[in-house]
Structure 1
């Protein structure tokens, strides 16, 4: 029987005991031997790789020019073929512009830039000598890329990088004016009739029964030749009728409806999705995108979901013929709350 005073059998090899055996340190195998590429040993292969990189950057330039051609010189008409042609040119132009730069840089790094592995310790940069050493490292990296020795690559890269952002700038500029101003005014005006979407037929107060809902646009919108979709996106409203006793208008809004008929913007104040679901029993309007819920009896106050502003109300009345008309435009910007100003 062995000595059990320390709780470990003296003759057991099941547990390694510190200090009894010297553990052999793991030997650093070092870096694997460097294998030179063809471009490292053959000047003609290096020149060929340089031309390939320049060709890829040239493709990027051509792609950008193709985008500009499709955007500025393809005039849209009422045919699907013209729209399809422009979309193809815009898509291919953007793809070639980005793909040319990306593949060109990757091929440049793989074929021409130094690929040997370096291992060095990292030290804090404190002294001026260390800063100078850091600057020298950056200069060495620039020198290793060969961009100073290869003007063909440098010039084509600069051309591709200079032109590549322009398609994005053009597309963002084409989005139109700032929404904060564009969404402040719609086609609704004093005396504008409420008409059904999409037929454009006017609506009489007697047509709106209790519990019914109408998707409404301003009269004259269907006659627009340009900007029809933009105006509709801003002006479309939901028209509903409740028992007048269920409505709780705030001060100054007592006459914004007519005998329980009220109209509210259809654009959700969260991110602008169309509010298209009406629960007749609860008098709630629901946005299907993120489940924002608005209480129609409380001037479309938000009672659930991410929206933080009620739906704007369109003041309405009737004309001499009994048709529903707007009293004015919306009194606040429609759409998402982050575009609201003032």
Structure 2
């Protein structure tokens, strides 16, 4: 057996390919060849190319029309009326206009690249990138070739319609900015003054604290330790939407909490702003106006879920974490003869974001 294995090993060592034959070893790094180029219908039929071009610029001009319609819908269905039908129509038609405008740009751009732009296959060999003159000239040639392949400089109708669609697409956004700063009027002389608007709410001396949204009055005895109540002025519950219910609620909303009186750290001029450990603070975050509604009864911290600002209710709702710039405004409270919680006055400072402090 050992003799046979030695013979086989000797035969393997002495083996050579026959004369005239070669052993072919495939190149492991050679890439596959490109498949044969398939011509599109638009490459072979000039009429099809013209149809594709018309389709592209028609989509872009439809985008222009949709953007203009979104702006027109903003004026046709004014949300300032307070009517729910106008608010629904405003959201619906503005959304449809903006959505269709962007959709038409997207479909037009895709159809342009698929049917009109050059689709020839190219192989780009890899090479070292150097900041030489030849490299810079090559970069310029890339833009020149891209312009030639896409037809951007040649096909003026498509190019101009795309520019028009892109410019028109921002018109609805610019139009909507108008609603952020309503103009003053004889009926509402402070409409365009955010400082004045945020300096006064519906709270006044004697206003009963009421549950949101039922408007039911709150007794001090019903506020237990560790509890948190969402509160509005009692008068607000009777206000209609067409009378500014949402606008007034956005400013007057309050969070009511109770802790042990000895746990409160109060400034000397605010010691009578609470009642038997019950405190009331604005629910509007002083960062960008999000609702501060997450209360942790063990730490007495309030958390704004939008940007994680935290306020210490036991210490004047001062900021202990996050981007908020100042404490939550406190609503001075007391009780009436029947034990119901009432406001001593309105807030003594503007509620909401701190932009009003900047001149």
What TM-score results when the alignment is normalised by the length of structure 2?
0.71
Gaps of 5+ in 1: 2-8, 14-20
- How far did residue 310 of structure 1 move? 5.1
Out of 225, 248, 272, the residue aligned to residue 255 of structure 1 is 272
- State yes or no: 1:132 paired with 2:137: yes
Q: What is the distance in 1 between the residues matched to 2:105 and 2:10?
A: 69
1:28-64: CA deviations, max 9, x gaps?
A: 3332222211111211111011111112112211211
Q: What is the distance in 1 between the residues matched to 2:178 and 2:78?
A: 18
- State yes or no: 1:325 paired with 2:343: yes
- How far did residue 227 of structure 1 move? 3.9
- How far did residue 112 of structure 1 move? 1.0
**Residue 40 and residue 145 in structure 1: after superposition, are their counterparts in 2 closer, same or farther (change >3 A)?**
same
- How far did residue 270 of structure 1 move? 7.2
Out of 60, 63, 66, the residue aligned to residue 60 of structure 1 is 63
- State yes or no: 1:187 paired with 2:201: yes
- State yes or no: 1:118 paired with 2:136: no
1:71-82 to structure 2, matched below 5 A, reads 71-76=74-79, 77=81, 80-82=84-86
- State yes or no: 1:98 paired with 2:102: yes
Equivalent pairs counted in the alignment come to: 323
- How far did residue 236 of structure 1 move? 1.1
- Is the CA contact 1:208–1:240 (under 8 Å) kept in the aligned structure 2? no
Q: What is the distance in 1 between the residues matched to 2:279 and 2:299?
A: 12
1:64-110: CA deviations, max 9, x gaps?
A: 12212211112455654443333321122112100110010110011
Which SS does the other structure have where 1:40 is aligned? helix
Out of 249, 253, 258, the residue aligned to residue 236 of structure 1 is 253
Out of 29, 32, 50, the residue aligned to residue 29 of structure 1 is 32
- State yes or no: 1:171 paired with 2:176: yes
- How far did residue 201 of structure 1 move? 6.4
Which SS does the other structure have where 2:96 is aligned? helix
Out of 156, 161, 172, the residue aligned to residue 156 of structure 1 is 161
Which SS does the other structure have where 2:209 is aligned? strand
Q: What is the distance in 2 between the residues matched to 1:148 and 1:213?
A: 65
Q: What is the distance in 2 between the residues matched to 1:61 and 1:10?
A: 84
The equivalent of 1:38 in structure 2 is 41
**Residue 191 and residue 319 in structure 1: after superposition, are their counterparts in 2 closer, same or farther (change >3 A)?**
farther
- Is the CA contact 2:251–2:352 (under 8 Å) kept in the aligned structure 1? yes
**Residue 179 and residue 261 in structure 1: after superposition, are their counterparts in 2 closer, same or farther (change >3 A)?**
farther
What TM-score results when the alignment is normalised by the length of structure 1?
0.74
- Is the CA contact 1:56–1:103 (under 8 Å) kept in the aligned structure 2? yes
- Is the CA contact 1:217–1:232 (under 8 Å) kept in the aligned structure 2? yes
- Is the CA contact 1:194–1:218 (under 8 Å) kept in the aligned structure 2? yes
Gaps of 5+ in 2: 3-8, 14-22, 183-191
